[in-house]
Copies of this chain bind each other. A is one copy, B any other.
Amino acid sequence: MKIDVILTPAEIATLPSGDLSASTAVVFDVLRATSTIITALASGAAGVHPVATIDEAWALQQKIPGAIVGGEREGVKQAGFHFGNSPREYTPEATDGKEIILTTTNGTVALRAVAGAERVLIGALLNLDALAAYLRAARPEHLLLVCAGSWNDFSLEDALAAGGLMARLPEAEATDPGTVVGLIHLRFGMEPYSCLRSSKNGRRLVNIGLGEDVAYCSRTSSSALVPELREGVILPPMKS
């Protein structure tokens, strides 16, 4: 299995399009979009529709009556939205059976950039073991790990998750970014909360009173779910 790693949002913008048809991509936006998506689907949501802007969210809600709208800007829930982007809000009571429209910035950009891949999977610390089991069974020829980052910046927690997934897969050819995420996993894989807590996003969330989200998102392999993007909607894995 050949594994490439995209470390920074700026690289996502330069991804060559159209040659991912034999690739499986995994998108990591650990704090907090992909952790929230995994949690919402585990709580029974029918599907998650990632959109980039608040306008897009409202426009899509017109087409999906009954959909829940969630998301944030600067970590804070938007006026009129049902939820923010805290995974802890997406409980079974609130989301079971519902379609969810989620505004994310980097997560959505990353998902759109790799939409041409054969498979696009949602990754976080929450589902590392499940992701690894899925990939060991599916054995894609080429795996592309995408660290969504935060605005224009590299995010430590996404690289930690990418490194944790690599460590769970059969040894791949060494690449420079692969070496780097491997080192981050070696240093922080056994103390993911410390890593998230010390990251720029983690400190920001703690500062606005959302420290519990940081703790939640660090719970490595607590979920068995590997969501997949299919035609613009993120769905739970198909039952076989």
Chain A residues in the interface with B (C-beta under 8 A): 7-8, 10-11, 13-14, 152-156, 159, 174-177, 179-180, 183-184, 186-187, 198-200
Contact of A200 among B11, B14, B155, B176 (CB under 8 A): B176
In the assembled complex, which residues on chain B have CB atoms less than 8 Å from the CB atom of A187? 183, 186
- Copies of this protein in the assembly total 2
In the assembled complex, which residues on chain B have CB atoms less than 8 Å from the CB atom of A159? 180
A198 to B154, alpha carbons, bound, how many Å? 23
CB distance from A154 to the nearest CB of B (A): 5
Q: Is the CB of B152 within 8 A of A176?
A: no
A237 to B159, alpha carbons, bound, how many Å? 38
Q: Is the CB of B176 within 8 A of A155?
A: yes
Query: Would A180 and B184 be within 8 Å (CB), given that A8-B11, A10-B10 are in contact?
Result: yes
A177 to B158, alpha carbons, bound, how many Å? 12
* CB-CB nearest in chain B for A159: B180
* CB-CB nearest in chain B for A179: B156
Q: Is the CB of A14 within 8 A of B175?
A: no
In the assembled complex, which residues on chain B have CB atoms less than 8 Å from the CB atom of A155? 176
Query: Would A154 and B7 be within 8 Å (CB), given that A174-B198, A179-B198, A198-B179 are in contact?
Result: yes
A156 to B153, alpha carbons, bound, how many Å? 18
CB distance from A167 to the nearest CB of B (A): 15
In the assembled complex, which residues on chain B have CB atoms less than 8 Å from the CB atom of A14? 10, 13, 152
A11 to B7, alpha carbons, bound, how many Å? 10
Q: Lowest 8 A-B CB distances belong to which pairs?
A: A10-B10, A156-B176, A10-B11, A183-B183, A8-B8, A10-B14, A154-B177, A176-B200
